[in-house]
Structure 1
Amino acid sequence: MLQVCHRVQELLQLLNEVLPTFSSAELLEPSAPGKWSRHEILGHLIDSAANNHRRFVLALTQPEPLLITPYDQDAWVRCAHYQHTPLADLLTLWTVYNQQLIRLIARVPPEAHAFRCTYESGYTVTLRWLMEDYTVHLEHHVQQLLARTLR
């Protein structure tokens, strides 16, 4: 899981270096009506960290298989008002939360990597897959955030 930890750390550094170079307009403008702004995408990443943190801990502390319950991503972003939160606050919260996730992931015992986690659809994955998928999801949104034109 060291690869996951290293990649998350790289993404933290990259986003903290580059995102503050965007103008306020670039940070606050959604790509289209009904789409998220960069502020809101970063807020979504905070929500994702919170939800995945919960999943990782429950997978380690509850009997198998962990039932993975979805969350309404749009509602979470709306309720948190990320659009109106200073970028520095969003970056700090996102960074610190992910640093904690790095510590957690690094300490997951190898035998726990195979713990089963099941989606409501019945699709079953392992805790290892969940941790790796967290990084894939993070990379997708970091690429979105850093693109010159938000898509």
Structure 2
Amino acid sequence: MDNRMLDPIRFPIGQFEPTINITDEDRNNLIHQIPEMSHRLRAITQDLSPIQLDTPYRQEGWTIRQIIHHLADNDMNAYLRFKRALTEHEPMSSTYREDLWAELHDYQHIPIEDSIFLLELLHRRFYILLRGMEPVDFHKKLRTAVLGNITLDIALQRFVWHNRHHMAQIESLIYKYC
């Protein structure tokens, strides 16, 4: 096992572990978490100063500002992957160099409010899309470079885990300095 995955600072909620056969109730619980994620992000970051926003959550890690902009970029990509999987046969999901995106000019100069607002709107649309899906739709697949072929059930679990993972990183830094 990769020792980086065991790092509690880098992975405060642990590594992603999918449940292969989730129940309809489990799926609905995941879906209902989505609208609250951006509200929680807004709540935990609302009182942070610019210095705090530009503090890395760990040595050689991203700043809180970079994490927030990354969440917006990642969730846009995830939403599009879902739409492609619903309309195409096992599409290959595109990858991107998130490490390099985090170094681009916009991550440094766009207010976090823009990304949080984008997340609120995007999560609302994603929630509506997911609520309109039939249980059989969650068995559709997409291909990924990291996870291989996965169902939309697993992609949904990964989406929620990813948001919780990064919010835990932000919270760990806030609690460390408060």
TM-score, normalised by the number of residues in structure 1 = 0.86
Q: Aligned residues, how many?
A: 149
Change (3 A) 1:134 1:80: farther
Q: Is the CA contact (8 Å cut-off) linking 1:42 and 1:94 kept in structure 2?
A: no
Partner Cα separation in structure 2 for residue 22 and residue 121 of structure 1: 33
Identify the range of structure 1 (91-100 vs 78-87) with the bigger mean alpha-carbon deviation: 78-87
Q: Is the 8 A contact 1:105 1:131 kept in 2?
A: no
- Check whether the contact 2:72–2:119 (CA below 8 A) recurs between aligned residues: yes
Moved over 6 A (4+): none
Pairwise mapping of residues 61-76 of structure 1 onto structure 2 (< 5 A)? 61-63=87-89, 65-76=90-101
Instruction: Look up the match of 2:46.
Output: 20
Paired residue for 2:19? none
Match of residue 70 from structure 2: 44
In structure 2, relative to structure 1, the CA distance for the partners of 1:129 and 1:20 (3 Å cut) is same
Query: For 1:79 and 1:23, how far apart are their aligned partners in 2?
Result: 21
**Distance in 2 between the 1:14 and 1:70 partners?**
27
Distance 1:5 1:54, change over 3 A: same
Tell me which moved more, 135-144 or 8-17.
8-17
Partners of 1:40 and 1:122 lie apart in 2 by 24
CA distance in 2, matches of 1:114, 1:127: 6
> Partner of 2:17 in structure 1?
none
1:7 paired residue number: 33
Q: Comparing both structures, which one devotes a greater share of its residues to helix?
A: 1
- Quickly say closer, same or farther: Cα 1:95–1:129, change in 2 above 3 A: same
- Taking a change above 3 Å as real, the CA distance of residues 91 and 35 of structure 1, as seen in their structure-2 partners, is same
Q: Per-residue deviation at 1:9?
A: 2.3
Structure 2: stretches of 5+ with no match in the other structure: 1-26
Helix, strand or coil for the counterpart of 1:66? coil
Give CA-to-partner distance per residue, 1:64-103, whole Å, 9 cap, x none. x222232111222233522211122222112211221111
Once residues 24 and 122 of structure 1 are traced to their aligned partners in structure 2, the CA distance between those partners, rounded to angstroms, is 36
Moved more, 129-138 or 24-33: 24-33
Q: Percent identity?
A: 23
